[in-house]
Structure 1
Amino acid sequence: MNFHHIKANLSKEEEKALRNLSTGPNIVIKEADKGGAVVIMNNHFYKSKIMDMLQDNNFHKQIHGNDDRQTMKKIKSLIHGPLCPDVTEKEKDYLVNFDFRESQFYGLPKMHKSAIIKEAIKNQNKEYIICPDPVDLSFRPIVGGPNAPTQRISQLLDILLKPLCKKVTSYVRDDLDFLNHLPSNVNKDAKLVTFDVVSLYTNIPTDLGIQAVKFWMEKYPDMINSRFQHDFILEGLKLVLNNNSFAFAENHYIQTKGTAMGTKVAPTYATLTLGYLETLLKSELVKEWGEEFADLIETNWKRFLDDCFIIWHGDMEKLTQFHKILNGLNSNIQFTLEMNDEKLPFLDVLVEKKNIRITTDIYYKATDTHQYLHFGSCHPNHTKSAIPYNLARRVCTIVSEENTRDLRLEELKSFLVKRKYPIRND
């Protein structure tokens, strides 16, 4: 392929303007945490919000200089030590011999959780919204380090531990997997309930996480590649958790609690930790209400990372007590509760209860921009053709009622027309 003849998406003038914007001292440009929006912020506002996070001594500590060389020495000592007798020389070389670089800290604005921004969207009703420095805007902390010293060993640990997630009863892979666990009919008095873990990644105590991973490895030892000792996995995990250092605004920090959102093993680690707490939850429920009720909760309780869903058949007093038991499992892991008699979103699915029947619809957050790939982009034609097909297929899979499905497909059509996709009548 002759790359010199590939047409650019932007003109030279547009590229120059974008470079000037991205390197300008007065603004910061970030992608929204969810919804696909591009967010342009005042640099001082952004930095002050991030510094508020980094100055919380419960989670971060400022350090003098870059610790990456010391971290790599620890990794090499583990990889070449007695816990790795069956790891090949080629594997060892991959894990430790690469040009590592310091991770960078940044925050993704949680537009969907800002009441001020939601109100601005409602009032302005435009493709772009002007909302200067919303005080209630929070950020999702990300440690971006694709070449951090711990990243390759973190990737290995993720490969080794991920199979265990399938043994977590509550585990769902995505919203489509979630649909498979929804019943067709429920009790007339049933309530739709969701629970959300407050800042899960940063709140997992290391001793709890290590205990959880050890629990699952010991329970299902055959699911761990026999060439890798359990002690090696646990020591490697401690290295990843205890050596999460990064830079922001020319200062250096280390995370002192939880796991970094950005390291490869984090989602698997979080899933196994909450799965372990759920085994403790069942024991508490057996004590409180007996085996039958505990089994019912275990069967119906579904979770994707920190988002939990259940159709509740008990009374409100029992739900309140259940919530209390849930928050009593570990003081660091706290759950918020949301409940509705008729409809409630979970992931990208809007679950609705119509008398005793359960139906599903697709759910878009108020801040979702529907910024799909522009048809004028210089991507291959097969890529652009696949986007409408897969989006429509997703609508057809999630939306259970035919009339609603037709409405959602018309909505999707209007979103795509705005992105200059052609209307075809064949």
Structure 2
Amino acid sequence: MLKKLYSNISKAELTALHKLASDSSIVIKKADKSGSIVIMNKNDYKAEVKRQLDNSVYFEKLTEDPGEQVYQNIFKCVNNRDIEDEFDTFPDNILTAQFYILPKIHKEYDSKFPLRYPGRPIVAGCNSATENTSKYIDYTLKPNMQSLLSYIKDTSDFIQKIKSVRFRSKHSYLVTLEVNSLYTNIPHSGGLRACKFFMDGTNHSTKLSSKNIAELIQLGLENNCFQFDGESYRQCMGTAMGSSMAPAYASIFMGNSDTIYNNLIEDYIGLAIDTNISDIIITGDFNYNTTILNEIHLSPAETEDVLKSLTAHKAAGPDGISN
């Protein structure tokens, strides 16, 4: 005998939900953090997306659908290196990646934004032409990410690490530093250099050389194309949040800083990166005159990457994606 199903909401509430779902003048998304649901005016939502996509530092508007060209770029790269047996080159049914944003309602209210809050840019690449390549890169890079001194797997891992920390004096503090819009601000040259550096020092679980893997990473970065509202774009800086390879790629890029932080701070706990956070957690003895950044000396290559990132922030301005 089938049990009767009971709803946990009233008929009036159910009717209201159906009405909201069919309202073409609004957009309903989850908030970037906190798990809240946000209902937005569609025109304001589109205006915030346009504000971001019009920033030529990060995005390039295309005059035609790049789908066929992206397909050919991937096909040629994979076949020219005789690595097609390493993974399925394409999904069964290729779809065009789509761009959307999640409102950052945890930020301060700011009337200069169309939504009064900035939006976190996401490229939904499920079944896109680059998805399988991105998954393969993630599989290849993940062991390097997990071997980083700064790697933090999850909350439980962080709790275990923080338990071992002992504060040495009254000047000891627990400090967190947030990397501002990490994914979109990683210069391609810096990300590729970091990945190759770590891959050169390890054995891979694949037959590919570090050079071949770096070429696949570059392929994914340079063919990150998507659509919004029927128009085509390409992301020309950073990696796409929503890409399978993005967390490992970003972690390894930041992993280049491990030696710097550990030479500078006695208890550098680590770097926590997932699809939404990129935080550095440290402890140490500080006083009010401590200036950490003045102690960091970068190589010429690292300086180039930092300057490119700073230039991007400057070009983006107060209304840019760096918020």
Matched, 1:114 2:108: yes
1:21–1:333 CA distance, 2 compared to 1 (3 A): same
| Paired-residue identity, % | 32
Q: Is the 8 A contact 2:190 2:253 kept in 1?
A: yes
1:239–1:13 CA distance, 2 compared to 1 (3 A): farther
Q: Is the 8 A contact 1:196 1:308 kept in 2?
A: yes
**Whole-angstrom distance in 2 between the partners of 1:214 and 1:110:** 34
1:152–1:321 CA distance, 2 compared to 1 (3 A): closer
Q: Which moved more, 1:227-236 or 1:105-114?
A: 227-236
Matched, 1:31 2:38: no
1:235 aligns to what?
A: 215
Q: Which moved more, 1:54-63 or 1:187-196?
A: 187-196
Matched, 1:311 2:283: yes
1:21 aligns to what?
A: 20
Aligned-pair CA distance for 1:240: 0.8
Q: Which moved more, 1:153-162 or 1:19-28?
A: 19-28
**Whole-angstrom distance in 1 between the partners of 2:167 and 2:267:** 15
Aligned partner letter, 1:297: I
2:53 aligns to what?
A: 54
**Whole-angstrom distance in 1 between the partners of 2:22 and 2:56:** 31
Matched, 1:104 2:98: yes
Q: Is the 8 A contact 1:83 1:229 kept in 2?
A: no
Aligned-pair CA distance for 1:171: 1.4
Q: Is the 8 A contact 1:41 1:133 kept in 2?
A: no
Aligned partner letter, 1:215: F
Aligned partner letter, 1:205: P
Aligned-pair CA distance for 1:138: 0.9
Q: Give 1:297's match in structure 2, choosing from 251, 254, 265.
A: 265
1:192 aligns to what?
A: 174
1:27–1:320 CA distance, 2 compared to 1 (3 A): same
2:80 aligns to what?
A: 81
Matched, 1:41 2:48: no
1:95–1:37 CA distance, 2 compared to 1 (3 A): same
1:330 aligns to what?
A: 306
Q: TM-score, normalised by structure 2?
A: 0.82
**Whole-angstrom distance in 1 between the partners of 2:129 and 2:7:** 35
Matched, 1:157 2:114: no
Aligned-pair CA distance for 1:13: 8.1
Aligned-pair CA distance for 1:97: 5.4
**Whole-angstrom distance in 2 between the partners of 1:106 and 1:319:** 38
**Whole-angstrom distance in 1 between the partners of 2:28 and 2:173:** 41
Matched, 1:248 2:228: yes
Q: Is the 8 A contact 2:60 2:236 kept in 1?
A: yes
Aligned-pair CA distance for 1:263: 0.6
1:38–1:321 CA distance, 2 compared to 1 (3 A): closer
Which structure 2 residues correspond to residues 191-210 of structure 1 after superposition, within 5 A? Answer: 191-210=173-192
Deviations 1:12-40 (A, max 9, x none): 98777545423422111110011111100
Deviations 1:305-356 (A, max 9, x none): 220111131434333444775896712456xxxxxxxxxxxxxxxxxxxxxx
**Whole-angstrom distance in 2 between the partners of 1:219 and 1:297:** 25
**Whole-angstrom distance in 2 between the partners of 1:249 and 1:101:** 15
1:104–1:7 CA distance, 2 compared to 1 (3 A): farther
**Whole-angstrom distance in 2 between the partners of 1:112 and 1:156:** 34
1:363 aligns to what?
A: none
1:120 aligns to what?
A: none
Q: Is the 8 A contact 1:169 1:298 kept in 2?
A: no
**Whole-angstrom distance in 1 between the partners of 2:208 and 2:295:** 39
Q: Is the 8 A contact 1:169 1:299 kept in 2?
A: no
Aligned-pair CA distance for 1:229: 2.5
Partner of 2:265, secondary structure, is helix
Deviations 1:151-195 (A, max 9, x none): 111001101110001221111112221122221443211123211
Q: Is the 8 A contact 2:47 2:114 kept in 1?
A: no
Aligned partner letter, 2:39: I
Which structure 2 residues correspond to residues 268-307 of structure 1 after superposition, within 5 A? Answer: 268-279=248-259, 281=260, 294-295=262-263, 297=265, 299-305=267-273, 306-307=278-279
Name the count of aligned residue pairs.
Answer: 298
1:62–1:8 CA distance, 2 compared to 1 (3 A): farther
How large is the RMSD of aligned CA atoms in angstroms? 3.0
**Whole-angstrom distance in 1 between the partners of 2:114 and 2:70:** 38
**Whole-angstrom distance in 2 between the partners of 1:275 and 1:298:** 17
Aligned partner letter, 1:46: Y
Any gaps of 5 or more consecutive residues in structure 2? 311-323
1:65 aligns to what?
A: 64
